[in-house]
Amino acid sequence: MLEYGDLVFLWSPKKGDAFLLRLAKGAVQGSRLGQLRHDDFVGKEYGSVVRSHSGESFAVLRPTLGEYTRRIKRNTQIVYPKEAGFLVMHLNLGPGATVVECGTGSGSLTCVFAHFVGPTGRVCTYDRREDFSELARKNAERWGVADRITFKVRSLDEGFDERDADAVFLDLPNPWDYIAAAEEALAPGNRLAILVPTTNQIERTLDVLREHHFADPQVLELMLRYLKTDPRRIRPEDMMVGHTGYLIFASKADPVVLPEEQAAPEAVVLLEAPGEEQKEPTSEEHGEF
């Protein structure tokens, strides 16, 4: 049963309006379909229905991590769920993993990482601004994962404290300046991910990744388009989540000698015996058949 302090997601079947709220004694949620009293939620179950003061119905749903991270209080741009989910999979995160992040911001992605590494994992996140770090801590507390996160307020000029991390993520205007620090923090064979908003940043980042011999570099952009859910009028929504950033992935590895960098084989000189005439090779000598 729902209690004060629980997080709930409200959805209107009539208008599709949605709200994410934490239940508080005596609080009221306003909407264009009427006011909703938090006290009316207490004692109900997720999946039940409540009514506004004007009689309009709202479904009481269990909030998802995606909805939470989209709606958290923020003072910076956040990493959207479409990128966050891709990062979790392609950084190979799971219970017990250690993730190092630089660019805490409002803590949206920090909460995602902490959710998936579980109670035995660790997220170490860096930001040079105390106010950003404090807001991220509060957002993590609301989702219940703050105890899995170490918040560090300082510049990365001194590098990361961590070693043999399972993954490193950089969300900075100049990630190329910190690739050496990321390489030092990563365990061999593990992946670095970087988020940048412009193609100019991609070029500089790829140059430095190559200098540090990172393997399997990949660059991608994700688009997300919802469809209208009226069964008689199924078509794309008028708005879509388009460009929000470019993702760059690469793995820490030993230097690989490319074929063009290998030493050319020594030339073999065939000397003719004195007085011996050259003859045209036969088809058999050519290996033809």
Tokens of 289: 């058949």
- The verdict on whether residue 251 carries a ligand-binding annotation is no
Cα–Cα dist 287/289, whole Å: 7
- The verdict on whether residue 17 carries a ligand-binding annotation is no
- The verdict on whether residue 164 carries a ligand-binding annotation is no
For residue 248, count CB atoms less than 10 angstroms from its CB and return exposed for 0-12, middle for 13-18, buried for 19 or more: buried
- The verdict on whether residue 172 carries a ligand-binding annotation is no
Tokens of 154: 């300082």
For residue 25, count CB atoms less than 10 angstroms from its CB and return exposed for 0-12, middle for 13-18, buried for 19 or more: exposed
- The verdict on whether residue 109 carries a ligand-binding annotation is yes
- Collapsing DSSP to helix, strand or coil, 126 comes out as strand
- DSSP state at residue 53: T
- The verdict on whether residue 127 carries a ligand-binding annotation is yes
- Between helix 108-117 and helix 81-90 the angle, nearest 10°, is 40
Residues in the annotated binding site for S-adenosyl-L-methionine: 106-109, 127, 171
Residues in the annotated binding site: 106-109, 127, 171
